[in-house]
Amino acid sequence: MRRVSGIAGAAPILRDAALILEKKFGSRPFPVPPKTQTALVCPLSGDSPGPACPDSMEEIFAKGRLPAKTCALHTSPARNSPGTRKTPPHAAAILFPQPGEIFKIDPASPRKSQALLLRSGVKPNPETRFTWKVDSQELPSTGPTAWWPLTPGRHRATLSIQGVHGVIRSNPVSFRVLP
Query: CA 18, CA 60: separation in Å to the nearest integer?
Result: 24
Percent above pLDDT 90 for the chain: 27
Query: CA 120, CA 87: separation in Å to the nearest integer?
Result: 15
pLDDT at 156: 96
Strand arrangement of the beta sheet that strand 115-120 belongs to: 94-96, 115-120, 145-149
Q: What is the DSSP letter of 135?
A: T
pTM of the model: 0.52
Sign of the CA dihedral running 44, 48, 54, 57: positive
Domains in the chain: boundaries: 33-74, 86-179
Q: Which residue has the higher pLDDT, 17 or 124?
A: 17
pLDDT at 75: 63
Question: Per this entry, what is the length of the chain?
Answer: 179
pLDDT class of 157 with cuts at 50, 70, 90: very high
Strands 173-178 and 102-104: parallel
What contacts 119, CB < 8 A, 6 or more positions away?
94, 95, 96, 144, 145
**In the predicted structure, residue 1 carries a pLDDT above the cut 70:** no
Q: What angle do CA 26, 31, 34 make, to 5 degrees?
A: 165
CATH superfamily for 86-179 is: Immunoglobulins (2.60.40.10)
Neighbour count for residue 70 (Cβ, 10 Å) = 13
pLDDT at 141: 78
Q: pLDDT of 76-103, one tens digit each?
A: 544 444 443 344 444 567 888 988 999 9
Q: Which residue has the higher pLDDT, 125 or 95?
A: 95
Q: pLDDT of 53-84, one tens digit each?
A: 877 888 888 998 998 888 877 665 444 444 43
Q: What is the DSSP letter of 31?
A: P
